[in-house]
Chain A
Amino acid sequence: MDLGVIDLSRLQFALTALYHFLFVPLTLGLSMMLVIMESVYVMTNRPIWRVITRFWGRIFAINFVLGVATGLTMEFQFGTNWSYFSHYVGDIFGAPLAIEGLMAFFLEATFVGIMFFGWGRLSKLGHLLVTAMVALGTNLSALWILIANGWMQNPVGATFNPETMRMEVTDFGAVLFNPIAQAKFVHTVSAGYVCAAVVVLGISAFWLLTDRYKGVARRSMTVAAAFGLAASLSVVVLGDESGYALTDNQKMKLAAIEAAWHTAPAPAGLTLFGVPDVAARETRYEVQIPWVLGLIATRSLDGTVTGMSELVLKAQERITSGVVAYDAVERLKTDPANVAQRARFEAHKRDLGYALLLKRHVADPRTASLALIASTAWDVVPNVPLMFWSFRIMAAIGVLMIALFGAAFVLTSLRLHTQTRWFLKLAVLAIPLPWIAIELGWMLAEIGRQPWAIEGVLPTFLAASSLTRGVLWTTIIGFTAIYGTLAVIEVRLILATIRKGPFEHDEDAYPVPDAGSAGRGAARPVAADPIPA
């Protein structure tokens, strides 16, 4: 294994996934908000809501296409850059990706074209249903992707088959209803909703501050305040941590986030602040709130939060056991019918992945000394300071979001939101925050899973394709150049769209779909902001 190739493969995946994930959350949330806005239009029949829906639809469109474009890379990157991963777990991992295409992305992509082009060809209710299909497809898409990702964190319902040298599915229901996947879905989708709500809130606040398009702005803000409050509460309360008691790696993630080097007596305290020292394996200047962590993480007073040192000891046992399974697999390669080796394998197969950790240090894990096994066990600890700080910044932003939307909700309820200038300024300043939290959350999930590509099953350093550094640099530079250019163009187009405002040049010339149909009530064309602020 060329570790340079591994690092470059990881760098490329991280760059392309983090970039893809800039666009997806806004798509997730904005599609839902479009459904809300258009529903108000259909129910009230007021043309202003049509203008509102179409304007946020334009922002949605500019953002959506980049999500699609960068999603292409993700769909194929497992094969291009993580070839051994694809072989090793394709039997399970491929299924949710295929179902995502069939059940979700088809729905989203087919109806999104009709959503943009169908205004003149559909009834109002028909168009609303199309928008709802886009939102449904988008959110189902997230569900299937997170079922796939959740399985990487908690590989249930599968077992290693020595005949095919890969993991194979035993219980597809367990893969679908993986509790970690469910927790991730709610958490991630809620985060997307917060992101969209912040964008709508911030742009509306910007217009109110600069005294433009007030009718559109204050209505948009009302939707954003209610939607954002619900979503920001959901993202924190239904946080990802509910799964942290489940597996050794999830426990390790939690211990790393808390920089808990040793198991503390229950209920453990929550570390508010501290400076993790990796070399000394301790945390300096710790400020703890007693009991809180134990309550959150174990939902009980007597459950313990296992510390990293104890988890490393457990990993050491599992490596030792895994070496037996590894030896049995090697013997079964040449003698598949050997019953005794098959039995040895069955007894130790749960730990096979742990033996593979040794391959980073020695070609044949069976030759590893006890000392090597003991030191390799520490490989299961992820990057503690990164985890510690990422979590704290993410969580702080989560709390800030609740405060922001709490304020927004109160002010809109009191109808004070158009003139409270300090709040409007804060709303504009808050626009980048959800993205920071979302990207940090992704890093927590993925870096926290290290050294594993599949928790307990396949180490990351074994999962990559047999590529060379040269081609990897070529594609990293290529993707960076394309993505960078597109990012600049996208931001400029969104800013131009905001500047241009919600009213279209030719809104007069364009016949509203059912103008004149007396039954549904005629919608009038809108030439300028007709609603007094």
Chain B
Amino acid sequence: MKILTVLVPVYNVEKYIRRCLDSLLLSEVLDDIEVLIVNDGSKDSSVEIIQEYCIKFPKTVTFVDKENGGHGSTINVGIEKAQGKYFKVIDSDDWVNLRGFVELVKRLKEEKSDVVLCNYRKEFTYNSKSEYFEYDGLTDRKHYNFNEIDLKILHGEYFVMATSTYRTEILRTSGLKLMEKTFYVDMQYNVVPITKVESFTYYDLDIYRYFIGRKEQSMNMDNFVRNQEHHKRMLKWLLEYYTQISSQLTANKREYIEIILTYTLNTHYSIYCEYDKNHERAYKEIKEFDEYLLCTNKALYDRLDSMAYVRYNRKTNFRFVRLDGTKWKKVMDIGRKVKERFV
């Protein structure tokens, strides 16, 4: 049995795919990993490039070609077909650090935890800068019981796709089925498997390279505004899912998922309160969503009150959103600057 399945979802990535595959297919790990490439109906020459790798590494590279169904659909196929004990998703425009990846595979051979966490780096190639992310409250190689840890050691961070390697069995038993043709499916990936996770181990290894090639990619609030319907759909799904299963979860898992949901809700509220320039639409949407949240999960609704802008907006019945969200954003920006200077 292979130790690790690396899923590489592919959609029109002829410019990037070589970089990703070249970083994975090292002689040291070829026998231990499976690189599962799922093509999501690419229209460029991605498939031809992948075929080259299939020929060169027939025992390591597996190729699945399917009709376009979005990022989530490729992960669903990946989980179903994976043959490795562990499972990791590497987006085809990202890549891994060679040294770190070899070490990860080596350590996974002895691993028993449900999840393995590692560090990652955002690579802003447009200005040659990078931003390193690490779980600095965790200890290298330490085995943690998820239900017993003090969640403060995560410093408000959670397990994201770039940092986590799941035991494949956990993904399957959790019933994870990502939504198709929808953005933000990583939120589902971050929440659903946790319901079955009992333990995790942290490796202080610098592995994942998250590629940000253009400036506008990093200022992603514009994308959130553009794709707000997807964000809403996903968030509603998560809220309903969590509300339904929360009673079966341990206190730690509940708290952990609520941290993620609060963070995501904050993003969702700020899309309308700060960034959407169509103020009338924003007003309508946020009013509707706020009422929906109150009806669906009162605890999370109350939790959001800890955020000043949500609290004030609720008190003013979101009237400022209707007037001009950008003005509210300016007020927020000034507030932040004042806070930075004096607090």
A and B are partners in one complex rather than unrelated chains? no
Q: Chain B residues in contact with chain A, CB under 8 A?
A: none
Q: Chain A residues in contact with chain B, CB under 8 A?
A: none
